[in-house]
Amino acid sequence: MMKKQNMNRDWIATARTLSEALPYLQRFTGAVVVVKFGGNAMGNDEAMADFARDMVLMRQVGVNPVVVHGGGPMINDMLKKLGIESDWVRGKRVTDKATVDVVEMVLAGLVNKRIVQAINDEGGRAVGISGKDDDLMVCVADDPELGFVGRPVEMNVQVIHDLCAAGIIPVIAPVGTGTADGETFNVNGDTAAGAIAGALQADRLLLLTDVPGVKGADGEVMTQISPEQVREMIAEGTIAGGMIPKTETALDALSRGVRAVVILDGRMPNATLLELFTEHGAGSIIRSTAPRVKPTHEE
């Protein structure tokens, strides 16, 4: 009898959670949400399946998820297997022709199709493309000393609109095309996600990381941050290391018309669903305007 009572309580709690999610489901119906997927979750089959299931659920309730992924560790593994050594400038890898060919093979092939397959296995419809398809992401060299490392200068996102209109989840590898001679450029995954979100005027850009969010001077995760606070924290050194490029991506995306950017822990089960469909949210949200009603992530 006790076991049956516990099961009943579990089902009641599930039903209550779904009911409480209704305003948020309605709020994001038709919204474009760009999700940067990367970090340790990419190398874990269970985490990959969880992520794919979340994307399918988002699409099922009327959200338009657009997935942009990284794949640095997989690139490193393949370069090592092929015996391709890298040169480094100021701590950054020089991407020569041999290296960029491997980058394209791994990102647009191995990693991209693995994510596509995971989403399809969960009952969704996903199509994998790269920034080279339909000239989605046209780039120039970010730093001539680094070789084929690109900075997006022109975005053509009609192919993404077409896929979303057809009920398909786009999965995008951060490989861009050049402005001349058909060069291939490796683009930082966060940078690519920010550029795509800006071009789409996305409602949300979710940057999944391996940390809970942006931490303040007291070491606690800040749930809400303004662009001005981000700039101050970078200048003071509170935001440092790998969090600097992520927050700079957030600021750039906001300047391009993205409504809000959230930096959250992709290792947390259902992190994207918690962020979008619960009052509490997840991670650190960066936006120019304060919430109008609740002291939460929701506007």
Q: How confident is the model at residue 248 (pLDDT cuts 50, 70, 90)?
A: very high
Q: In what order do the strands lie in the sheet with 184-186?
A: 150-155, 137-141, 175-178, 184-186
Mean pLDDT estimate for the chain: 88
Confidence label for 180 from pLDDT (cuts 50, 70 and 90): confident
Q: Which two structure tokens, joined as six digits, stand for 31? A: 């919204």
Taking only the tens place, the pLDDT of each residue in 75-129 is 999 999 999 988 888 767 889 999 999 999 999 999 999 999 999 999 999 999 9
- pLDDT > 80? residue 14: no
- Element of type H or E holding 53: helix 45-60
One-letter amino acid at 117 equals Q
Residue 17: both structure tokens together: 């959670």
Spatial separation of the C-alpha atoms in residues 39 and 297, rounded to whole Å: 23
Q: Both tokens of residue 139?
A: 């780039």
Q: Which residue has the higher pLDDT, 204 or 269?
A: 204
* Whether residue 185 has pLDDT greater than 90: yes
Model confidence band, residue 237 (pLDDT cutoffs 50, 70, 90): very high
**Residues 209 and 280 sit within 8 Å (Cβ to Cβ):** no
CATH dotted code for 27-286: 3.40.1160.10
Position 89 scores a pLDDT of: 81
Distance of CA 64 to the CA centre of its chain: 13
Q: Are 204 and 33 in contact (CB under 8 A)?
A: yes
State the residue for tokens 């099922």.
60
Amino acid 190: pLDDT: 94
User: Which is more confidently placed, 223 or 196?
Assistant: 196
Q: What percent of the chain has pLDDT over 90?
A: 67
Q: What is residue 291's predicted lDDT score, i.e. its pLDDT?
A: 45
**Residues ≥6 apart with Cβ < 8 Å to 209:** 38, 39, 246, 263, 264, 265, 266
